[in-house]
Structure 1
């Protein structure tokens, strides 16, 4: 096994301290050293030493206070610390069924440029997909007058079973091959830090930082698009499972020997709720022209089409069963149903919520709130970019510690 540089125990404490200071600055936007000490519990001297290292490394900058009228108080005004936006440029990438979306942000998290590139085919060999990702990134960088070499790191969000600790994809609906070292494949094309994560986890990250999960420590995000995904946040941290395959809500079983799922198994919830499953059923049961999108299927149901209505009604019943199972297992504070289209109303009708309520273990306490949040592909990329910023920050801090040894 190859040797990996690791800090000693003392180095780990130093790394943790520097990471704490950096993340405190990130959370506050601009904050004085004495306030960092108060937030972290570190001594002012320790904070001063760490901030000096971060300043020298070019990760943070001093922010001079605005000149104010004389108040009669003596002493110098406190100088605040803020992240240096130009320290790094980071890319977040979402690989969807029909497009690749790229967002480039700076080290402070400011959005610089975004781009959406259509895909000709939904499933590809690893090398094909890597070429498509690089092409989308190049197009985005060109659009923002950014050099590809200026990208310090990127995160790719993909549907499927992903081990984020290894950037390894066990299975994805975007790939024709299984067990793909996606990080290594992309590393042959790009000279920057590369991270690969399950896309639903990245939506949970985005919801936690920017969306309906802000200020909520325990919540669950269910993503509905081509397939069905889930991101779980427990104590403000994303739960991934031992192999990185935890929280696969779409592949929980709801019927023995049931409908075929795109993962290759039968009876998965996704095979009754995912976009492809509903459109597949419409094609199989109808002799007439069938809807080409969930929006068209929903419109047909609203106009009184009995077949469309029955397909959506069954999807709602299956979804209610799945929601009840989630509540019985996790008992979260909040469940966010997220997706890239706005035609998800059939999954959250009063009837669906009531069926969910009837299937939940009854206690004398309110049920978790279930809310809907519809957004475009950029939200996925935003979560990917936020994740990449965290990982690049951690790498920068680790290098500081190793250089000091």
Structure 2
């Protein structure tokens, strides 16, 4: 299934070459997948196949309409829902404002499923037609069972959100940290399509990090790894929304920057980071000083990431990437000064300021993987 998905269209003999299975084994497996409606046969319309003599080589591809999958990106102010077909093609999408950024678990489940239901209805089908839902949310999450140790979106800690969602949803729900799923989206659709080892750092209301090692998401044993936002950059420093002090997020996240601005200015005149950024561009030196502090702290975080992981690429993503205060040349230069000095270039840092629907696409892609695994396991059980 992975070989077919990555290739788009592929002949059986090429699957055998890619997987190491014998042609007979590939034929047997694809026969089962065909009978299950997960794949379909096609004759590629390309010059290479047309130039061959005799019968054209038959290729196979995923059956796009065999399953519909929803991806949900839960932001601080907006819920973004995107429905994909089994090939990963967009079907329908919608965005909904969030009235309450922190909800109790029961309200959270209701709001999420209502957003998915409305999106499905706008596409001419219902939530009952979905084969799975991928949910992307900030926090410390054990993706295997959807257990949320802590999230800024919930009023409670240690919530078995997977069980709650499964009880209320007509289809399986797969939950993971939002930065992990941005990394998933970058690996499948973004600037890291050909890379196997890279890191995504997300900067919005909070700060997250997604790590891809050997082509797979690294989560840690408890699902609590890759929390760059909660690494400490100052002893007994600013208060973070996680309840501890001195976290990187407490200096770089949206709420932290606005909190500092209100403290310096003595009044709440900026509703968002964009307003503060505009003020800095118009010569407001207090606004400049607030953004400079955030940038210096981010440079420290970037240097730590390079020193620990030495990845092929670092991608900066999230709403704050719409503004330049966190990725000007001086910030990258400051990070370089704090990296262990060797006679080799530091890993490149790229900005990809895509919107919330692309985050939702990462969640949907994760759900597609999980649904694929479920269907393959069902075939195996039926064969037994």
TM range (shorter): over 0.9
SS, match of residue 246 in structure 1: coil
Q: How far apart in 1 are the matches of 2:192 and 2:355?
A: 17
| The one of 157, 162, 177 aligned to 1:198 | 177
Match of 1:333 in 2: 312
Q: How far apart in 2 are the matches of 1:346 and 1:210?
A: 26
| The one of 211, 230, 249 aligned to 1:232 | 211
Change in CA separation of 1:71 and 1:205 when aligned onto 2, cut-off 3 Å: closer
Segment of structure 1 superposing worse, 33-42 or 45-54: 33-42
Match of 2:136 in 1: 157
Gaps of at least 5 residues in structure 2 are none
Contact 1:341 1:375 in 2 (8 A): no
* Aligned 1:34-73 pairs, distance under 5 A: 34-66=13-45
Give deviations 1:223-255, integer Å, cap 9, x for gaps: 000000000111111110111110100000011
| The one of 90, 95, 111 aligned to 2:74 | 95
Q: How far apart in 2 are the matches of 1:345 and 1:318?
A: 15
Q: How far apart in 1 are the matches of 2:64 and 2:208?
A: 33
Contact 2:228 2:248 in 1 (8 A): yes
* Aligned 1:6-405 pairs, distance under 5 A: 22-66=1-45, 75-288=54-267, 290-405=269-384
Contact 1:294 1:343 in 2 (8 A): no
- Count of aligned positions: 384
Contact 2:49 2:57 in 1 (8 A): no
Gaps of at least 5 residues in structure 1 are 1-21
Match of 1:8 in 2: none
Q: How far apart in 2 are the matches of 1:133 and 1:351?
A: 41
Contact 1:341 1:376 in 2 (8 A): no
Q: How far apart in 1 are the matches of 2:61 and 2:138?
A: 35
Match of 1:4 in 2: none
Change in CA separation of 1:198 and 1:71 when aligned onto 2, cut-off 3 Å: closer
What is the TM-score with the length of structure 2 in the denominator?
Answer: 0.97
SS, match of residue 97 in structure 1: coil
